[in-house]
Structure 1
Amino acid sequence: MTSGSYSQMEEATFKPMSSLIREAKERVPLEGEVKKSPPRIEFERDPEHYFRCVSGRYPDNLEGRHNERILVVVDESDKPDISMEHFDSAQSSITDDRDRMVVIGNPPRDEGNSLYELMTDPRWEVIQFSSFDSHNVLVDAGEVEEEKLPGLVDLKQIKEDYESWNREEFPGVDACLNSLEQDGETGILTCTESGLDERWYRRRLGVIPPDGSKSVRPFHTEDVVSAENAYQEITDGDDSVEYDAYGVDVARGGGDRTVIVGMTPSRIDILASVEEPGNHSVNKRLVEHHVHDTATPVIMDAIGEGSGVADELNRTYNVTRFKSSEKALQREKYHDKRTEALCEFGQWLSNGAIDPHSELSAELRSASRHIELEEKALKSGVTWKATSKSDLKKSDALGRSPDLLDAACLAAWGLEVEQSHSNAGYGFYSY
């Protein structure tokens, strides 16, 4: 067995299998000894009878195994680390009808993925499942009169995912199932409805996203437009604002800006945007000039120059030191804090307001077209990781550091993440 993520295969497959074997041995005289380096199960009476987890780092590792019966399993086969070389090498162990090879994965994002080549190869039998085939969904929909099973997706979760990913009301089970049809040439299940979030197609309908589907992003251009349209109504006649969180992105040189923003659940304001302001004493005075409330959370970029400013302000202000590369608080969702903050800001946009004539608005429109979320496999599961800042600075992307967006995300993180309110304050804190 191999996988697109060796560490996750070890955690998600081998550990539960080892546990099952140990529990079984307590009741019956089951053969097989669990070994850990590399992860495998061996049988003393028959050295050629074994189960082994094989790293997919080198495709050639999958070759050279032959016996009376062979079962090859490739999990997470849609991941970029699994290529046609892996499939070809693994398939070399399949010699007759007694051997089997099983390839498991989410539907690929597009037809360029190597898994798609297998799906269209007539030698392979393709079985596609949607979340609507889940036992618990069938129970919720009244198709099955049985008890629900723990750990399986249910209709409530499907509905929540649809509305969260697509920003519209769930159309119902029948409408979702009626949007599926089988391709006449390949036999592959497809969806006739385009324009939805690609997660909906891949994770819930179990199909390759059609042309026109939305990439997975922390926010989209229409989210920015919606926040711009709400600005006049929310800010009309509101001259005095008490902010619930501040975000401070400190310039690191090379044309960067120090940006200070104030945020409430419904609006955001750029309080300062100064290019190359100088040393940390100047940056400290900028914060002191614009942040008058010493109790409200001030989320500061604590890398390089920002760390020195945090040192200067920590005894007076409610400072939280933010390091973008550290693990996210919501570790089951996000790979790092930067991604978490971007997604928190994306959630804020659904009810927030932005001045349509501001620099922030222009930067957000551009960023919404260039920042995507990619799946990152960890031992605990699959999380999201945003496009790196170095990639955004390239000339064919933003071409610069998104300082205004960074400060806005820091404020949104401080506004939405509970720990920044309950644990921060008057000292050095890094969550």
Structure 2
Amino acid sequence: MSAQDSNPLEKYVTGEERYVRFTEEILGVQLAEVQKKILRAVTENKHLVVVSGNGVGKSYAIACLNLAFLYTNPNSTVVMTSGSYSQMEEATFKPMESLLRSAKDDFPLPGDVKKSPPRIEFEHDPEHYFRCISGRYPDNLEGRHNERVLVLVDEADKPDITQEHFDSAQSSITDEKDRMVVIGNPPRDEGNSLYELMTDPRYEVIQFSSMDSHNARVDAGLVEGDKIPGLVDLKQVREDYRSWNRENFPGFENILDTLEKDDETGVLECTEKGLDERWYRRRLGVIPPTGAKSVRPFYAEDVTTAENNWEEINDDQDEIEYDAYGVDVARGGGDRTVIAGITPERVDILESVESPGDHSVNKRLVERHVDDNRTPVIMDAIGEGSGIADELNREGYNVTRYKASENARQRKKYNDCRTEALCELGNWLENGAVEPKTDVASELREAARHIELEEKSLKSGTTWKATSKSDLKKSDALGRSPDLLDAVSLAAWGLNVEQASSNAGYSFYSY
């Protein structure tokens, strides 16, 4: 296909609306206004940064842009990298593949979709292609030459994307026909490489909050029309505000009033301080201001709520049937063997014994409290706990050997089992009860002040990872291994482990 030939796509070759019209008329996509703004901005700007909260449709807009640029510019090359390769495949390339397949039913679009790496190639023009490139090697972004070149860097706020990626991508941008587009959520702070681009005068910067989502604006009565599947709505925004900030949603217009551009940098900011970091980044689409609350598996006020819930507990029960046990076995001096029993309503510390001595003593402590072969017993399988777990399993107990560093059950959310267990504990604290003014309540409260969740980019996507146990031990507030916390979080994690049938053992559980 060339500009000189009779080109069925000729009417999409020029104009600010060219990519919008191609997407709507050829790909058959109903674009939201946010998505149209992104496509228009690419036609007018050589360098573009798109920063937004979640749910506004930017990933789908990029999928449409890739196809629009590739097909309306006959002599073009499009390359894309990302801070999360799997996210690029799932959120961008798969929609591209689906859109192209559907469009070909009604329109004679050339090009072959191929994988490993994901790409679109044209048989008679090897320089005309789209290709996904791993972010592992920034140099692979260099040396792209064609009449028109589009280079995209997605998930640019992730730690795996550095200034080297931007410099390599820039080397392929040689004249006014080329485009470089950088996309991401707002970084956590100004030390991130993405922030440097946001304040670089070469770049046009457009920022969106989740309040710009078409569906949220329909719910707020600001625009008319049907909702668009996949975009965040106002109900979800309200729920997130209440969940993350522990207070009622102040209203759509009041939220918009907190957003303003910095006079010096032009970067969108929030004037309201002290809210949860997730609210700023995921919903407002801004860098968290100083004083933003860190993301944690649970908070000190959650522990207070659980202590207050104890008033509803009937403590006159002769025998409590626990739904799971958590066992943290002492490994040496200063450690304790702790056994916690948990139900959906309460948690109890059944044993807390300082360095109990030997293997057989620790095993008898478990046998003293667990008298059936059905209730899940979650045991830390590092060190001494491993041998005890093996013996109890052979005797028919329903033991799960827990390893903190192994893959979480919810792999798309949590980096490892320990993070998952701490977050399960946080969920449990919403309705569960902890006896007030006890050692376990005190340790949970101190842990809540010191354990944070950080985003970690993996091949499978972005997950949460909790402050390491070694760092927690260094905390002045704890000063020792958090054995009570460990046992209680293991027990909370165990609430989602099935009761064993007649055959107990490891085969029931997979990580």
- Relative to the length of structure 1, the TM-score reads 0.89
- Partner secondary structure for residue 119 of structure 2: strand
Aligned to 2:223: 144
Aligned to 2:363: 284
- Partner secondary structure for residue 104 of structure 1: strand
Letter aligned with residue 8 of structure 1: Q
Aligned to 1:348: 428
- Partner secondary structure for residue 86 of structure 1: helix
**1:79 aligns with one of 158, 176, 179:** 158
- Partner secondary structure for residue 491 of structure 2: helix
1:420 matched to 2:498? The reply is yes
Shift of residue 46, structure 1, vs aligned partner? 2.0
Letter aligned with residue 354 of structure 2: E
Greater CA drift, 131-140 or 166-175: 166-175
Computed over aligned residues only, the root mean square deviation of the Cα atoms, in angstroms, reads 2.7
Separation in 2, partners of 1:241, 1:93:
72
**1:330 aligns with one of 403, 410, 414:** 410
Aligned to 1:181: 260
Separation in 2, partners of 1:423, 1:150:
42
Separation in 2, partners of 1:192, 1:160:
21
Separation in 2, partners of 1:423, 1:122:
65
Shift of residue 2, structure 1, vs aligned partner? 1.0
**1:389 aligns with one of 456, 469, 483:** 469
Deviations, residues 379-420 of structure 1 (Å, cap 9, x unaligned): 5543222223243344678554322111111111223x2x43
1:200 matched to 2:287? The reply is no
Distance 1:364 1:52, change over 3 A: same
User: Once the two structures are aligned, what percentage of the paired residues are identical?
Assistant: 75
Distance 1:405 1:286, change over 3 A: same
- Partner secondary structure for residue 166 of structure 2: helix
Deviations, residues 321-346 of structure 1 (Å, cap 9, x unaligned): 43333433333422332211101111
Residues 325 and 339 in structure 2, CA contact (< 8 A), matched pair in contact too: yes
Deviations, residues 128-168 of structure 1 (Å, cap 9, x unaligned): 11111111112222223322222111112112211221222
Shift of residue 127, structure 1, vs aligned partner? 0.7
Separation in 2, partners of 1:343, 1:225:
17
Aligned to 2:441: 361
Residues 157 and 187 in structure 2, CA contact (< 8 A), matched pair in contact too: yes
Separation in 2, partners of 1:240, 1:96:
81
Deviations, residues 56-112 of structure 1 (Å, cap 9, x unaligned): 223222222232211110000001111122112211222222111111000111111
Shift of residue 250, structure 1, vs aligned partner? 2.0
**1:409 aligns with one of 489, 494, 504:** 489
Residues 370 and 398 in structure 1, CA contact (< 8 A), matched pair in contact too: no
Aligned to 1:319: 399
Separation in 1, partners of 2:502, 2:250:
42
Separation in 2, partners of 1:39, 1:396:
50
Distance 1:92 1:254, change over 3 A: farther
Aligned to 2:190: 111
Separation in 1, partners of 2:288, 2:454:
15
1:18 matched to 2:93? The reply is no
Aligned 1:33-44 pairs, distance under 5 A: 33-44=112-123
Separation in 1, partners of 2:183, 2:387:
49
Separation in 2, partners of 1:405, 1:77:
36
Greater CA radius of gyration, 1 or 2? 2
Separation in 1, partners of 2:412, 2:482:
26
Structure 2 gaps of 5+ residues are 1-79
Q: How many residues align?
A: 428
Shift of residue 282, structure 1, vs aligned partner? 1.8
Greater CA drift, 172-181 or 272-281: 272-281
- Partner secondary structure for residue 446 of structure 2: helix
Shift of residue 274, structure 1, vs aligned partner? 2.2
Separation in 2, partners of 1:240, 1:178:
57
Shift of residue 27, structure 1, vs aligned partner? 4.3
Structure 1 gaps of 5+ residues are none
Greater CA drift, 158-167 or 399-408: 399-408
Aligned 1:59-70 pairs, distance under 5 A: 59-70=138-149
Residues 250 and 257 in structure 1, CA contact (< 8 A), matched pair in contact too: yes
Aligned to 1:57: 136
